[in-house]
Amino acid sequence: MMKPTLRKRERARKTRLRWLLGTACALTALFAAMAAVNASRPEPPIAFDYDKLPRLGAADAPVKIVEIGDFKCPACRYFGLIVKPQLERDYIRSGTVALYFFWKFYDAVYLNQGDEREIWATPGFLVRLAQSEGLQVDEDVLKRDIIGETYADEVIEQNRKAEKLVTATPTLFVNGVKFTDFSNYEALRQAIDEAGKKAGQR
């Protein structure tokens, strides 16, 4: 038979254990609730210096879409060749949307994209591509700039910004709000329409 002192100690131990378990459950619930609140809270829009970015569309378009992409990325090729023409037809030509990226080589590179596991975007390839597409550039200057990495600092700066903002390409920012479901055109249309409404309310 358990002595009174031992029974008291056992009751006290069980009481402490219940209190600890209760506290742990309460803290777990609290942290879960906080995580849910943080997860549902939308991220603030990213501010871009649109004036410094190459643009397709009207400068005063109420919806501005910045694409962060990779010319060697097959998914980016899909966006460039399939989704972008739809955006041009539905929104860009009417002045509703402006799309920001690098346009001289954009379509030509995606049409002639090589295997992402191989080195294909060489200076010679890019110069020949400019020639074949009839781009209005000085081919000697283009080759010299590519080999000499004339614009390396700008490219590095843009890459650093991109690495802070995205983990995969392509990623779009619709008036600064991240959008990654690029293959779902209806979802993209909704995001554009919502951004246009908000821009009209300002």
**Secondary structure element (H or E) that encloses residue 2, with its range:** none
- Look over the chain and give the mean of its residue pLDDT values, rounded to a whole number: 80
| Cα–Cα distance, 125 to 137 (Å, whole number) | 15
Strand order in the sheet with 63-68: 55-56, 97-100, 63-68, 171-174, 177-179
- The answer to whether residues 56 and 99 belong to one domain is yes
- The answer to whether residues 27 and 71 belong to one domain is no
- The answer to whether residues 140 and 94 belong to one domain is yes
**CB neighbour list of residue 16: distance below 8 Å, 6 or more residues apart:** none
What spatial distance separates the first Cα and last Cα of the chain, rounded to whole Å? 79
CATH of the domain at 132: 3.40.30.10
Alpha-carbon dihedral angle through residues 189, 192, 193, 194, given to the nearest 10 degrees? 120
Segments forming the whole domain that contains residue 37: 1-41
- The answer to whether residues 6 and 94 belong to one domain is no
* Residue 79, pLDDT score: 92
- The answer to whether residues 81 and 20 belong to one domain is no
Q: Cis link prior to 170 (omega < 30° from 0)?
A: yes
- The answer to whether residues 156 and 114 belong to one domain is yes
Domains in the chain, number: 2
Confidence of residue 117 (pLDDT cuts 50, 70, 90): confident
What is the average per-residue pLDDT within 142-159? 85
Q: Which of 46-50, 74-78, 100-104 is predicted with the least confidence, judged by mean pLDDT?
A: 100-104
- The answer to whether residues 32 and 122 belong to one domain is no
pTM for this predicted structure = 0.70
- The answer to whether residues 36 and 74 belong to one domain is no
- The answer to whether residues 31 and 55 belong to one domain is no
* Residue 83, pLDDT score: 94
What is the average per-residue pLDDT within 188-202? 88
Q: What is the pLDDT of residues 13-67, one digit of tens each?
A: 555 545 444 444 444 444 444 444 444 456 788 889 899 888 999 999 999 999 9
- The answer to whether residues 97 and 189 belong to one domain is yes
- The answer to whether residues 95 and 22 belong to one domain is no
- The answer to whether residues 37 and 68 belong to one domain is no
